[in-house]
Chains A and B, each alone.
Chain A
Amino acid sequence: MAFGSIYALIALGYTMVYGVLRLINFAHSEVFMIGTFGAMFVPFVLGINSALTGLALVGVIVLMILAGMLASAGTAIALEQIAYRPLRKRGASRLAALISAIGASIFLQELFALLVIPGVFNRPQQGRIQMALPRLMERTELFSIFGHSVRVDQVLVIVAAVGMMVALDALVNRTKIGRGIRATAQNPEAAVLMGVDINKIVRMTFLIGGGMAGVAGALYLISYENTSYIIGFLFGIKAFTAAVLGGIGNLRGALVGGVVLGLVENYGAIFFGSDWKHVISFTILVLVLMFRPTGILGESLQQARA
């Protein structure tokens, strides 16, 4: 469940960008990776190396989530400005944008491995080594369901993730910006005629998607206490799968897809052995797409339901 909600948060970024631009932003996995490092920066600067309690803990977690959001959203905006907007302005094909995304993704990974991690985190020559976060919160068991114990950190991840998703849903459905996003997704030309500033909307989309990936990064870090420059790759692929599973372009679909994927993976691994984990999740994906090509909640932003 906890893993599923992280998938879901990242999947939101894929789904939103796809909904608005019809572009699969493959660099989104690096947006997530940078979010984990943004969050890592807070305890690093504060020099925390033992478990915290009470207000201090809450404060640090909030700061980490904010730092993660800031780093990720910043990256997403920069990506849009540098890697996608120039292409869009020249009317380049979507394939060009896709390739630009893959290039940006590898660029960011290597940038982190070679410069950012050694430089910012004071690890000379060690950019490719997994970086561990000291324990922030004691992992007390809260209660157990069906013999599975549920720990504080897992509850934190799920609660925070669901909170963010509800907020996002409200944003897209109830605000002016949200209406702009939905309008652009439905018909960009008509939206321009109705006075929607497409560039602003696209920027907002990347900002929100990036912010969600940043939250996911911070939550992941708090829960698993380590990260590395390639952490984004598997998560990106899985979140993309979740987005497709739920019906890409559909926000609630991304949520459902993420949770379903997380559960299928874990239960599948228990029944068939961990070796088969990926086989199972991707078999499910293929099966769902065979029978419902539009995904579980098969309608998109285009149908104005967000």
Chain B
Amino acid sequence: MSKDEITIRDFCRRTGQLVELDPGHFLLLPPPYDKLDIQPKFTRLSEENRKKLESDLDGVSALKFPRPQNEDEKRVLVEKFLSGLKKLFDRQENWTFMQPLFLTMEFCAKCQTCAAACPIYNESGRLDIYRPTFRSDILRRLYKKYVKTGGQFFAKLSGNDIDASWTMIARLMELSYRCTVCRRCAQSCPIGVDNGLVTRELRKIFSQEMGITVEPLHAKGSVNQLRTGSSTGMSRTPFLDNVEFLEEEVEERTGMKFKWPMDKAGADILLIHNAGEFLAWPENPEAFAIILEAAGISYTLSSDLCAYDGVNYGVWYDDVQFAKVALQHAEVARRLGVKKIVIGECGHAHKALTVIADRVFTGEHNIPRESSMTLLHEIIKSGRLKLDASRNDDMTTTLHDPCNLVRLMGVVEPQREVLRAVSNRFREMEPHGVNNYCCGGGSGFAITKDLNFPDFRNQISSRTKLRQILDVFQDIIEPEHKKYVCAPCSNCKGAMRDMFAAYGLFERCNILYGGLVELVVNAMVDIDKPFIEWEWH
């Protein structure tokens, strides 16, 4: 069934599961993963979950949405969906994205140039349902029929008529979580149509109107963050304890004893990390602290609500949640009276605060925001750190470009300059820079870990990144060579952690992933012991 052609008509009308995902149909990987038997298996949902949860798209459930029990429930859901659909095209309800969405709805020439750019579509073995325009064409038809004047009549005339049934909406709901919003498709579109935006706007109907979102983004994500201070659930006291522990660890690893500046009013910079770093990759905030201390930068961390967690998941599914979190970040910066906010190694936090929030902040909240990549570059250029790149000579490095930081924000060179300064054996993946491929964890995928969604992520959405990593190191793929994928983004690291584990990349090929600052500290001549511990954790 998996290679069958699926039309929009099938999508709307066919009953049962549309597509069965089969690793045998996915694109072949480079060695040593060119044999199916060493690739991970694709877990099927249990029979019970299939019966219970909406999974008729491809047998994967990101949303864990229970199947409605009767026709009445279905009818209510369809009505809500249509009400949300109309709001997407209302200038007040959706001022945030109405114009770009309208342009995308009106001007697609259906040339399918975008299809070749999409890693998910290609890696899946070109399954129709993942083609970038598949999702958009459905929304376009619904928009033309249910939102535009005279739509019902013209829909019949044009041969594009589809009905908003629950079967279709349930599939569309899951389909809006099969795209990482990497916007590679939009970049290749000759007209400037944006299928990634369609994904995001669809998610908004489900979240803002129907209250349906993947749990890690909303209930455990932005709601948790606004309630406890961090999407990790870490409130102020455990955060402060954590920092204290990291201070001790820094002393142990480097011999440097210093307090991390905390809640310091009047500092030049408020540095905001992704809070996941403190828990999963503490060496990253440690390395930042070491560099900023050694360079004598005036900065502070904050233990205030949201300000020690740069994540803003709203950027992927909900404008209101986005604005709430962004304003919290700005509010703390305002209270501290800092000159600017600097965002740590987290791609989506970068885009959220610098680009997206730029049209949310006004007056005193409009405090300048800057990337840590540029700050690091400036520090390195200034010569304030004594560095010896040969200290990283035992490993070959490559750089992953986080979509949010690079394609969607244009921060391309600073991190490269830094990496070149600390690694003699740096090589670029192809393609790279603004033409990069997503890690596969974008738009919330990295933190969506329930049921069999990680199989989709590891085997389909992260597959191109895996391919690029294997390709760039192909001549030294044997485990005797140490290889390091520098990924200056918590989210990308999250996706890589899972993908590396699923394929056994560390054990089989001796490839490790990590941030940029760790490499910098590893090259600092004043620190005796290597900072990077070459082990999988």
- Do A and B come from the same complex? no
Interface residues of B (CB under 8 A from A): none
